Structure 1
Amino acid sequence: MSEDKINNTNDIVDSEKEDKDEYEKVCSVCRRPESKAGKLITMPGNMYVCSDCMQRSFDMINSNSNYDDLMKMMSNPSLGGMNIFMPGMEDMEVPKKQRIKKRKKDEKAKPIIELKDIPAPHEIKAKLDEYVIGQDYAKKVMSVAVYNHYKRVATDTMDDIEIEKSNMLMIGPTGSGKTYLVKTLAKLLNVPLAIADATSLTEAGYIGDDIESVVSKLLAAADNDVDRAEQGIIFIDEIDKIAKKKETRSRDVSGESVQQGMLKLLEGSDIEVPVGATSKNAMVPLTTVNTRNILFICGGAFPELDEVIKERLNEQASIGFIADLKDKYDNDDKLLSKVTLEDLRNFGMIPEFLGRLPVVFTLDPLDKDMLVSILKEPKNAILKQYKKLLALDEVELEFDDSALEAIAEKALEKKTGARALRSIIEEFMLDIMYEIPKDDNIGRVIITGDYINKKGGPVIQMRTV
């Protein structure tokens, strides 16, 4: 055998050894990790069995009166072989996504971010400004809340004065940047992030994702490292969809009951979560995650919340000189910023749930100027992406001001916020991206407002020799 092959073989053996040392052993039958099941018995074929499963197997053998027939069945693969008393034996190897990283005994979990490395609120906001246009108030609130939260985590302040978690509730119309803000924040801090959708969550025992699945997703994002996961961020989108249903006669398994089930997660407690799956079952290992230092950010568009706010604000409208006009707030774009906890309760959120989300703020709807800025200013702006794509074909791409305004106007008509921008540009760039590679003589393409409004074509300039 050559020296290179020997070295490669040694590298594989070393990596497998490191892999085994890094992750916990899991019982091949009940799928409990060693930290839960106790010392595991090592068997041939990379198989591990806990003492409970081994004892149950022996009990089953002893309870069978016809021992000879049982042995014949065990030795015959066509009749199920070993599976008759150890179900799941055909799939001994635990998938990597279900392996749990070992936790060091008697060693305190180190914070993901040291106190000296936590960026100040103005630094966090400055970074968010590079990627997210507008929403200054929301970015300011998030910067302070995140700064305070990770100071709490880094110092583990649990003495006489206990600092509470800064869980957040963000309210804003679709496409205003809720998810993008959270993604940018997690990227900036380099912490594990899980994004879950509240619409898929249901009460335990019903079809859908268990409430603990949101923590399971964070564990997966942290590469099954429990210590890292316990200091990550969970963003639960569409939180308004679990509001208490009004005038319903059927059991509400995805509304108020989900809010009730999430209370212990938000406040902080030990949760049994499935590893590598969204629901608990016999073939999935479970581990314990403490949510005390996990930052929860909930977001939603809360449709019709503006009607609840208007109803409250118009309560004083009556006969007299100080009466308000009924239509006073109909065209108020910033009506959501006047929201109160009372409005959210009337919308269908239970008081206990709102009490565990102390930081509540709103995002502004996007106007024409903000949409134009979103097109060209952020670090990864849509226009910059297309310019880079065409630059690879050695072609310059330009958008004049009239084109940007026309795109922004079309996006406003769709009423889906910044999400509309990409779909509009994709539509108009399709023919250009298709035709440009055909002709090597094209040097520059200028997109005009007339082309966006379908009154003309793009300006194409040929290369100069």
Structure 2
Amino acid sequence: MRYDDWTAEGRLWYVDDSDAEDNDDVCGELDGEADLLRQFDRGEKLYNYLDKRIWKQNEAKRAASIIMFNCLHRGRRSNAMFIGPSGCGKTYIWRCLQELFPERIEIVDGSNITPDGWSGKKKWSNLLLSEKFLEGRQTVLVIDEADKMFMPKTNSRGENWSEIIQGEVLKMLEGTYVDLGSGVRVDTSMISFVFCGAFSVKSEEIAEKKRGGSIGFVKNNREVKAYDAPIERKNLHDFGIMTEILGRIRRIVNLKPMTEKDFFHMMDAACSPIRKLEEEFGVEISLMPETCRKLVSEAAEDGEGIRGMENKLCVMLEDALYEEEDRRHFVF
């Protein structure tokens, strides 16, 4: 399937599964992690695995492959930060790797972490309760929505909540033993910390500054938009992240927003939400041209990206299954 300026020529949209066999899971019938380690014995092989599942974002796929290879084969930790708008794939990259190595990667939501001694059940120490951190081998902890965790917040007593949390994060990044009670301790020097966040406020601020006297446009008459320029360390410091934390983050990876054309190609790729739902529900799904057009346009406009397309398709499928539970092929 090709894009071919469909908007100008009014081309039909369709889903072509003719190359489905080429995108089958490369893992095959592997027996445990030992087989996986032998199969993925080079960072390039991890990259190729991701490349079949994620559209574009080559720099992020390469960085994730290096971090994962270091974890699996070199016994080295590599702290990083993945930055990009919602729906660009920054967390999905790690979900794909987690499917390969579920015992090595933990993904958590960082938006509702609270400091020790404060109300709230989710503490940094709670994130380490997973068995995978207790086995004494290299692992990766991915903190999604990290920008919300780092954003300055002040309580009624004037205390900066974020600074307290960052102080706890700093100890983890330095590598320390965390006491989880009952004599159980976790060595955080064995954990690679990967922070994923949109930092949309900072990105829009950078774009606004670049607009400056150009009244919203640059020399080539293209409007300056959020994420046109990368978010750098100095921008993250201005956002409120401690210098000490930034100094312990080896890589900062900026992901680009996805365009309508990108979402179109995703619908026919191995990472298609159609393919995912077909596997999850054990059905076949076909989309009418107008349905594809609507899903892709909304994904580009509302910023929800591939996640938004999947959610909308899932609702359509669940509603249809409610009416006809035994049906196996659906056309929307």
TM-score, reference length from structure 1? 0.56
2:287 is matched with which residue: 393, 399, 420? 399
SS in 1 for 2:200: coil
Distance 1:389 1:345 in 2: 42
Cα distance change on mapping 1:390 and 1:347 into 2, 3 Å: closer
Q: Does 1:328 align with 2:217?
A: yes
SS in 2 for 1:204: coil
Cα distance change on mapping 1:302 and 1:402 into 2, 3 Å: same
CA deviations over 1:210-254 (Å, ceiling 9, x no partner): 3222222xx33x2xx7234x4211111121123352788744453
The AA in structure 1 aligned to 2:124 is: I
- When the two chains are superposed, the root-mean-square deviation of aligned CA atoms in Å is 3.4
CA deviations over 1:431-454 (Å, ceiling 9, x no partner): 54344458x8xx96543xxxxxxx
1:288 is matched with which residue: 177, 181, 185? 185
SS in 2 for 1:206: coil
- Structure 1: unaligned runs, 5 residues or longer: 1-110, 154-162, 275-284, 318-323, 448-465
SS in 2 for 1:292: helix
Cα distance change on mapping 1:390 and 1:398 into 2, 3 Å: farther
Structure 1 position 188, deviation (Å): 2.4
Asked if the contact 2:110/2:149 (under 8 Å) is kept, the reply is yes
Alignment of 1:64-213 (within 5 A): 119-153=41-75, 165-208=77-120, 209-213=122-126
The AA in structure 2 aligned to 1:384 is: R
User: Which position in structure 2 is the counterpart of 1:226?
Assistant: 134
Distance 2:261 2:201 in 1: 26
Cα distance change on mapping 1:338 and 1:424 into 2, 3 Å: same
Distance 1:420 1:114 in 2: 32
User: Which position in structure 1 is the counterpart of 2:163?
Assistant: 256
Q: Does 1:347 align with 2:239?
A: yes
SS in 2 for 1:131: coil
Structure 1 position 264, deviation (Å): 1.6
User: Which position in structure 1 is the counterpart of 2:298?
Assistant: 410
User: Which position in structure 2 is the counterpart of 1:376?
Assistant: 268
Asked if the contact 1:376/1:382 (under 8 Å) is kept, the reply is no
Distance 2:185 2:34 in 1: 19
SS in 2 for 1:227: coil
1:265 is matched with which residue: 172, 187, 193? 172
Q: Which has the larger radius of gyration?
A: 1
Structure 1 position 166, deviation (Å): 1.6
Distance 1:115 1:446 in 2: 40
CA deviations over 1:368-408 (Å, ceiling 9, x no partner): 122233333226x332355568876xxx6422444322221
SS in 2 for 1:344: helix
Distance 2:60 2:84 in 1: 10
- Structure 2: unaligned runs, 5 residues or longer: 1-32
User: Which position in structure 1 is the counterpart of 2:199?
Assistant: 302
Identity %: 23
Distance 2:279 2:148 in 1: 39
Structure 1 position 336, deviation (Å): 5.4
Distance 1:272 1:377 in 2: 45
Cα distance change on mapping 1:296 and 1:397 into 2, 3 Å: closer
Distance 2:142 2:280 in 1: 32
Asked if the contact 2:152/2:161 (under 8 Å) is kept, the reply is no
User: Which position in structure 2 is the counterpart of 1:90?
Assistant: none
Structure 1 position 174, deviation (Å): 1.5
RCO higher in structure (CA 8 A, sep ≥6): 2
Cα distance change on mapping 1:337 and 1:123 into 2, 3 Å: farther
Asked if the contact 2:177/2:186 (under 8 Å) is kept, the reply is yes
Structure 1 position 430, deviation (Å): 5.0
Distance 1:389 1:244 in 2: 36
Cα distance change on mapping 1:117 and 1:286 into 2, 3 Å: farther
User: Which position in structure 2 is the counterpart of 1:239?
Assistant: 146
Cα distance change on mapping 1:255 and 1:369 into 2, 3 Å: same
CA deviations over 1:95-124 (Å, ceiling 9, x no partner): xxxxxxxxxxxxxxxx98998665322211
Asked if the contact 2:110/2:148 (under 8 Å) is kept, the reply is yes
Asked if the contact 1:242/1:256 (under 8 Å) is kept, the reply is no
Asked if the contact 1:196/1:236 (under 8 Å) is kept, the reply is yes
Cα distance change on mapping 1:325 and 1:180 into 2, 3 Å: same
User: Which position in structure 2 is the counterpart of 1:43?
Assistant: none
Report how many aligned residue pairs link the two structures: 296
Alignment of 1:374-453 (within 5 A): 374-378=266-270, 381-387=272-278, 397-429=285-317, 432-436=320-324, 446-447=331-332
User: Which position in structure 2 is the counterpart of 1:38?
Assistant: none
Structure 1 position 169, deviation (Å): 0.3
Structure 1 position 167, deviation (Å): 0.6
Distance 2:173 2:35 in 1: 21
Cα distance change on mapping 1:365 and 1:286 into 2, 3 Å: farther
Asked if the contact 2:207/2:225 (under 8 Å) is kept, the reply is no
Cα distance change on mapping 1:350 and 1:400 into 2, 3 Å: same
